[in-house]
Structure 1
Amino acid sequence: MSGKDVTIGIDVGTTAVKAVAADADGHVVARTRIPHSLRVPGPDELEHDADEAWRRGPLTALAELGTSNTAAVAVTAMVPSLTAVDAEGRPLTPGLLYGDSRGRACDAGPDTRFLTGESVEFLRWTAQQAPDAHGYWPAAAAANHALAGEAMVDTTTAGTSYPLYDGDGWSEKVCADCEVTPAQMPRVAATGTPAGRISGSDTVLAAGAVDAVCEQMVADAGNVGDVLVLCGTTLIVWAMVRSYREVPGLWTLPQSPHGTCQIGGPSNAGGLFLGWVDRLVGQGSGAPADARRVPVWSPYVRGERVPYHDPDRRGVLDGLDLTHDGASVRRAAHEASGFVVRQIVERSGAPATRIIATGGGTRVAAWMQALADATGLPVHVSAIPEGAALGAAFLGRVAVGLESSLTDAARWARTERIVEPDPQWAGPTQDRYGRFLELAEGAATVSAPR
């Protein structure tokens, strides 16, 4: 690395901290990955050792990349998340993660809103566990404090915690209801602005953004007909449409840089589900699956978000028989993830012409092929799987004046390969998609009275 046009993006993810150093053209000149444990204490609980994942992980990642020739560093992370910290910024409680039942109000039924108040319940639970804590911080704030001594989150991360953060600041009323004060919450800085200095250097700490926002910035998937699929621990699907529309169960958000809207949302049929199936099935013989002999997964082992918003759903493996082997069960899992994408796209009514896939899951060739086969669409696979970290690196450039517009991040988008649907799998996959919908809708009928 040379010159001050290099910036670093650090992504605090569900299973690892990923970091990249990128030059002015978006070429990754260095990268690192620091794995951390994902704890599942109960079927509806998901947490980190926040000290390992949110504090030590980013410090190790930055130490491996270095800052001697780096203009800026920006952090991105999954949302929502929360831990209590002491005066040194060391976590005192588990790092609660999205979808954890401790973020659910006791009397809450299915909630289809984009912002459900999960962060409020995280704060309530965490404050009860550590009532004398110095602060209550999301993952990004813990990472920023570790790197620069500054407990800071960006406006997009803070915004996802509504009504805890109401756009003007941390709500005194909501904080009081959780028996904390706004002073115990992190400082909020506008995305893409300078927010401090990395400890021991003159490198700027930039305010980042939510991980999914960072991935979208460098994916160039804003045209009508594009379907952006973020293949991470969570599966996130955004189909681009020309104008705002509402569809039951889906979320619609403006995509202002392109003048379009995106419709879809997150699903639990992503890497967390697929990794669990891999561990369940084991290594296997390596023989390919037979297109005619694949069972059907209903992949909701920890409930589902979009489109059902049902945390009580559970997984089903349908049609299993003695002809199936590990390869068949694994292929069924990959297909189920693709079927979720197809279902969301079909519900959206978007005129889909291609999928743009990004995230760490793009390294799994079998997942990408099943995604193409299940949807019948070509899959344009991003050349940089660490899309969130790359987008954060671009925000670092904005913060130090090396870029003037967030829309210019699209020039960093690169396609590694295009995966076409396999015609030999078209018929059998179509039949299994019908069964997938039957299972999904049947579960919806059963869950409705809850």
Structure 2
Amino acid sequence: MADSLLVGIDIGTASSKGVLVSPSGEVLARASRPCLPQEPRPPHRTSYPHPGWVEHDAESVWWADFLALSRELVAAADGRSLAGLAVSGIGPVLLPADADGRPLRPAILYGVDTRATREIDELTEELGADAILARAGTPLSSQAVGPKWRWLARHEPEVYEKTRLFLMASSYLVHKLTGEYVLDHHSASQCDPMYDLRAAGWAYDWAARVAPGIELPRLAWPTEVVGTVTGTAAAETGLPAGLPVTAGTVDAWAEATSVGVTEPGDTMVMYGSTMFLIQVLAEPAPHPALWTTRGVWPGSYSMAAGMATSGLITDWLRGLVGGEFADLVAEAAKAPVGGNGLLLLPYFAGERTPLFDPDARGVLAGLTTRHGVGEIYRATLEGIAYGVRHNLETMPSDGARRLVAVGGGTQGGLWTQIVSDVTGQEQLVPTETIGAALGDALLAAVATGSRPDAAAWNPPSTTVRPTPSATDEYAHYYHHYRNLYPATADIAHFLASRQR
């Protein structure tokens, strides 16, 4: 089995990806199922049925993507044996299912879905904000699964009554493949307030108040094999029956693993539809404006931050003005630092950390008739970079030991350079950009007995260094960025109420 191959498959918000990897970490094949917005019903479709609701259909998105990717990767293996499979997916999400694992409604997605604001306030009042922070490690926000359970019981009681299994994207796939009802510790630690962070187990007393009558899955680490591919699943997927399958995890944490963010102080910045940051911790350090969770490795912890929109804003702007991203980036690169006096708040879908304000809204300040699309596009990238700095400054004071940049937004160089200039920090850009799927393959290697060197699997190829003169100029803009949100929050909240 020493030369057997490893399979990693990740289900993302806008697309899904998979890789076939050698035991040394060489990517032998890759496959993807992208979102195709130009199609009336794209194969990977995110639904927005009501304002503040964001959903995925598990069968037509998660399972359909997995089937397409697994068959393609098995074909690419060309008869070579497989050693193990790991999966990851968007999270934390809430997918209620019946006893056989059949979904009862579309999955309610992570912090971008803001429907449970009333339930967040209720549970915080019932359990106490300080008690939640001390036990669960994270204040309740739109990211938390617990309030969404209460929302489901209140608004869709007929679904709640039929629910027997609680699944996320990764655990849904694991159940389809193996029949096992299991969730990894990291994903469970984002089910606030239903998981005890330090005890590394379900907080059954609080879970009974939040989701009464729901049987919770057994817990395992993402580095553990929890079952094998059944004959039925083998026939559907093309995977060999008996193939070991790990517990899986949330995509961002698999991506951090893919770039060697495994030691305390290591920090990943993910440039995608939303901006996400993960810092590895030696010990839990609950913070009222961030998420503290269990990590991927047994006994580990992490601190995370997430912006509600980033690449989504750049895509929105491109849709308004037309053209290609390359043209917008070229125009933005011509504009000076600050876009000739522009300042953008990137809160187009509210904001997650460190504001926890679902009613925050986007602001573009300083606009004149002299400004062009290049300056506006640059101000957009800069506004997101200010949000990254705000989150990094909210993290532990000793800061990041090293900063690793991942995701599609690292391509082209301008966005990463702006972030380094705004934060004053170097960023390492890895060689391989396939993302979470590669981290899944690494976790499968660990789970099946290999001892891979995570850093050697995907070493950095580029270092982005800050430009001192730009950093000095951005400091002035950042000062006003921090003042702009409190100065406009009341207006934003009024406008958000009208938008609902």
**Which TM bucket (shorter chain)?**
0.7 to 0.9
Cα distance change, pair 423–323 in 1 and its aligned pair in 2 (3 A):
farther
| Structure 1 residues not aligned, in runs of 5+ | none
For 1:58, what is the secondary structure of its paired residue?
A: helix
Code of the residue aligned with 2:419 in structure 1: it is: L
Alignment partner, residue 420 of structure 2? 372
Q: Which residue of 2 is the match for residue 63 of structure 1?
A: 71
Shift of 1:225: 7.1
Deviations 1:27-64 (A, max 9, x none): 21111111312223344222112222222212221111
Name 2:10's counterpart in structure 1: 11
Equivalent in the alignment of 1:288: 331
CA deviations on 1:392-435 (whole Å, 9 max, x unpaired) are 211111221123x8xx4233231132233356755654443233
CA distance in 1, matches of 2:87, 2:438: 10
Matched, 1:415 2:460: yes
What number of residue pairs does the alignment pair up? 444
Which residue among 230, 247, 272 is the counterpart of 1:207?
247
Question: In the alignment, which residue of structure 2 is the partner of 1:195?
Answer: 226
Query: 1:304 is paired with a residue of what secondary structure?
Result: coil
TM superposition shift of 1:333: 1.6
* Alpha-carbon distance change, 90 to 339 in structure 1, aligned in 2, over 3 angstroms: same
Q: 1:245 to 1:115 in 2, by over 3 A?
A: closer
Select 2:96's aligned residue among 58, 65, 84.
84
Deviates more, 1:264-273 or 1:239-248: 239-248
Matching residue of 2:149: 123
Distance 1:443 1:353, change over 3 A: farther
Q: Which stretch shifts more, 36-45 or 350-359?
A: 350-359
What residue number does 1:395 align with? Answer: 443
Instruction: Tell me the equivalent position of 1:440.
Output: 485
Alpha-carbon distance change, 313 to 392 in structure 1, aligned in 2, over 3 angstroms: same
Name the SS for the 1:237 alignment partner: strand
Residue 448 of structure 1, CA deviation: 11
d(CA) in 1 for partners of 2:245, 2:256 = 21
Partner SS, residue 162 of structure 2:
coil
Equivalent position amino acid for 2:85 in 1: V
Amino acid at match of 1:189: A
The answer (yes or no) to whether the contact 1:84–1:92 under 8 Å persists in 2 is: yes
SS at match of 2:370: coil
Closer/same/farther in 2, CA of residues 420 and 248 from structure 1, 3 Å limit: same
C-alpha change, 1:72 and 1:378, in structure 2 (3 Å) is same
* Cα 1:365/1:47, change in 2 over 3 Å: farther
Q: Is residue 334–residue 367 contact of structure 1 (8 Å, CA) maintained in 2?
A: yes
> Structure 2 counterpart of 1:5, which letter?
S
Contact 2:183 2:220 in 1 (8 A): yes
- The sequence identity of aligned pairs, in percent, is 31
Deviations 1:89-140 (A, max 9, x none): 3423121111222343436189776263831232334452513245332212
Task: Assess if the C-alpha contact under 8 Å between 2:186 and 2:294 holds in 1.
Answer: no
Q: Which residue of 2 aligns with 1:138?
A: 168
For residue 342 of structure 1, the aligned residue among 389, 392, 399 is 389
* Range with bigger deviation, 420-429 or 299-308: 420-429
CA distance in structure 2 between the aligned counterparts of 1:248 and 1:448, rounded to whole angstroms: 21
- Give the direction of change, closer, same or farther, for the CA distance of 1:351–1:80 in structure 2 (3 Å limit): closer
Listed one character per residue, the Cα deviations across residues 135-182 of structure 1 (whole Å, up to 9, x for unaligned) are 332212222233334443222222321443555458377357545431
In 2, are the aligned partners of 1:358 and 1:384 still within 8 Å (CA)? no
Q: Residues 233 and 352 of structure 1: is their aligned pair in 2 closer, same or farther, counting only changes over 3 Å?
A: same
Question: Where does residue 114 of structure 1 map in the other structure?
Answer: 138
Aligned Cα RMSD in Å?
3.7
Measure the CA separation in 2 of the matches of 1:206 and 1:13. Answer: 18
Q: For residues 181 and 288 of structure 1, do their structure 2 counterparts lie closer, same or farther at Cα, with a shift above 3 Å needed?
A: closer
Are 1:237 and 2:277 an aligned pair? yes
CA deviations on 1:266-305 (whole Å, 9 max, x unpaired) are 2224333433333334326555231153522100111112
> Is 61-70 or 223-232 further displaced after alignment?
223-232
Structure 1, 297-306 or 172-181: larger mean CA deviation: 172-181
Structure 1 window deviating more from structure 2 (215-224 vs 22-31): it is 215-224
TM-score (norm 1): 0.84
Structure 1 residue aligned with 2:40: none
Conserved in 2, the CA contact under 8 Å of 1:12 and 1:78?
Answer: yes
Q: Which residues in structure 2 correspond to 1:245-284 (within 5 Å)?
A: 249-251=289-291, 265-283=305-323
Q: Map 1:157-168 onto structure 2 (within 5 A).
A: 157-165=187-195, 167-168=200-201
Q: Equivalents in 1 of 2:100, 2:367: separation in Å? A: 53
Provide the secondary structure at the position in 2 that maps to 1:288. Answer: helix
Q: CA contact under 8 A between 1:72 and 1:203: conserved in structure 2?
A: yes
Query: Contact 1:93/1:126 (CA < 8 Å) preserved in 2?
Result: no
Cα-to-partner distance string for 1:338-386 (whole Å, 9 max, x where unaligned): 1112222334434557531023332353322222232233321122223
- Gapped runs of 5+ residues in structure 2? 35-43, 235-239
**Residue of structure 2 equivalent to 1:37:** 45
Q: CA separation in 1, counterparts of 2:444 and 2:300? A: 26
CA distance 1:54–1:125, change in 2 (3 Å): farther
SS of the residue 2:270 aligns to = strand
Write the distance in 2 (CA, Å) between the matches of 1:266 and 1:302: 12
CA distance in 1, matches of 2:428, 2:414: 14
* Larger mean Cα displacement after TM superposition, 129-138 or 161-170: 161-170
